């Protein structure tokens, strides 16, 4: 049976995040989605990001929050390209309410590989995926319907995302049926395409300023990323994150008792039952 991996939380109080997010105009994530998806994920024992990928994502998230590269701290999206495309490898986490909102399939670029993404590029016309940290941008309606622009935050790694028209969109080739017929997902021109039936909800949840992290276990990324290098440098002096105890369904997130005082008192930001 699959085990639920421990989720990690930032040392700075959640009240800081809540105070930051309470002033923005974005709709809150619908409670009916969080309630049903958390229950299903827990009871189905769906896998979560590996502890290493999750911690790297949250470390980078804190750095981006500190330097104001993101302005929607209530959610984070994680894509793990160490996994093959026939596995669910995209997660959207609700930081405020400590819930998993979405877990789904996601495509990689056609020149990044077949079943697994193994080659990456920042070059226009490469039709390959680009790893690293992004901030989500505005939405528009294109040939794939509602689409989400992405701003690459890592020079020479993904900062040409706008030039390359790398966006999140829905696609029919991101489905279990396609996997059954072909043994893998269809591939994009470098965009992280998601299931067509979920794309509008996911895009509207993470649009306009949230953090998106695409993990790739390749030296070209991990060695050259200024964000990864900064994380490594900071951790030599003190950890950014607080590890928590192993989790059991249906509780997916847990804060140590010593940090409960940091949870906001505003009822609109309380965890749901």
pLDDT in tens, 259-273: 222 222 222 333 322
Whether residue 178 is predicted with pLDDT greater than 80 in this model: the reply is: yes
Q: Which two tokens stand for residue 116?
A: 């697994």
Q: What average pLDDT does range 24-34 have in this prediction?
A: 35
Nearest alpha carbon to residue 212 among 70, 96, 104, 83: 70
CA dihedral 88, 45, 273, 267 (to 10 degrees): -30
Q: What is the structure's pLDDT at 46?
A: 52
In this predicted structure, the answer to whether residue 2 has a pLDDT above a threshold of 60 is: no
Instruction: Provide φ and ψ at 61, rounded to 5°.
Output: -55, -45
**CATH superfamily ID and name for 37-113+125-236:** L,D-transpeptidase catalytic domain-like (2.40.440.10)
Helix H, strand E, coil C: the string for 190-232 is: CCCCEEHHHHHHHHHHHCCCCEEEEECCCHHHHHHCHHHHHHH
80/89 Cα distance (integer angstroms): 5
Give the mean pLDDT of 124-129. 98
Structure tokens at 73: 């701290």
Tokens representing 42?
């827990």
- pLDDT tens digits, residue range 146-170? 999 999 999 999 999 999 999 999 9
What is the overall mean pLDDT for the chain? 78
Residue 30 main-chain phi, psi, to 5 deg: -55, 130
Q: Above 90 in pLDDT, residue 252?
A: no
Domain boundaries defined on the chain: 37-113+125-236
Tell me: cis bond preceding 250? Omega within 30 of 0 counts.
yes
Reported as a pLDDT band with limits 50, 70 and 90, residue 239 is: low
Mean pLDDT of the 18-36 span? 38
Question: Would you say residue 58 has pLDDT above 90?
Answer: yes
What is the helix (H) or strand (E) element at residue 58, kind and residue range? helix 51-66
Q: Which residue has the higher pLDDT, 196 or 237?
A: 196
- Compute CA distances 272 → 22, 43, 211, whole Å: 17, 17, 23
Indicate the pLDDT class of residue 249, thresholds 50, 70 and 90. Answer: very low
Burial of residue 87 (CB within 10 Å: 0-12, 13-18, 19+) is middle
Q: How far apart are CA 273 and CA 262, in angstroms?
A: 19
Q: What is the mean pLDDT of residues 56-76?
A: 96
Answer whether residue 140 shows pLDDT above 60.
yes
Residue 118: Cβ within 10 Å count:
15
Is pLDDT of 35 > 60?
Answer: no
- Check residues 217 and 250 and name the one with the higher pLDDT: 217
**Confidence class for position 98, pLDDT limits 50, 70, 90:** confident
């Amino acid at each position: 049976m699959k085990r639920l991996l421990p989720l990690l939380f930032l040392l700075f109080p959640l009240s800081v995040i809540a105070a930051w997010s309470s002033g923005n105009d974005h709709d809150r994530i619908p409670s009916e989605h969080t309630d049903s998806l958390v229950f299903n994920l827990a009871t189905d024992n769906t896998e979560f990001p590996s502890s290493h990928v999750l911690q790297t994502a949250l470390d980078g998230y804190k750095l981006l929050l500190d330097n104001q590269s993101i302005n929607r701290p209530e959610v984070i999206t994680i894509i793990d390209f160490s996994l093959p495309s026939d596995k669910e490898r995209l997660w959207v986490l609700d930081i405020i309410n400590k819930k998993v909102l979405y877990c789904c399939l996601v495509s990689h670029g056609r020149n990044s590989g077949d079943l697994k993404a193994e080659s990456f590029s920042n070059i226009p016309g490469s039709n390959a995926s680009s790893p690293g940290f992004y901030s989500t941008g505005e939405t528009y309606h294109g040939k794939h319907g509602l689409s989400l622009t992405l701003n690459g935050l890592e020079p020479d790694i993904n900062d040409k995302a706008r030039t390359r028209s790398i966006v999140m969109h829905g696609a029919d080739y991101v489905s279990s049926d396609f996997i059954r017929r072909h043994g893998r997902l269809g591939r994009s021109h470098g965009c992280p395409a998601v299931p067509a039936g979920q794309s509008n909800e996911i895009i509207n949840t993470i649009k306009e300023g949230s953090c998106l992290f695409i993990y790739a276990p390749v030296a070209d990324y991990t060695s050259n990323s200024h964000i990864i290098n900064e994380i490594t440098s900071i951790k030599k002096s003190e950890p950014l994150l607080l590890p928590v105890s192993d989790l059991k369904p249906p509780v997916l997130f847990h804060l140590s008792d010593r940090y409960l005082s940091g949870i906001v008192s505003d009822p609109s930001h309380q965890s749901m039952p």
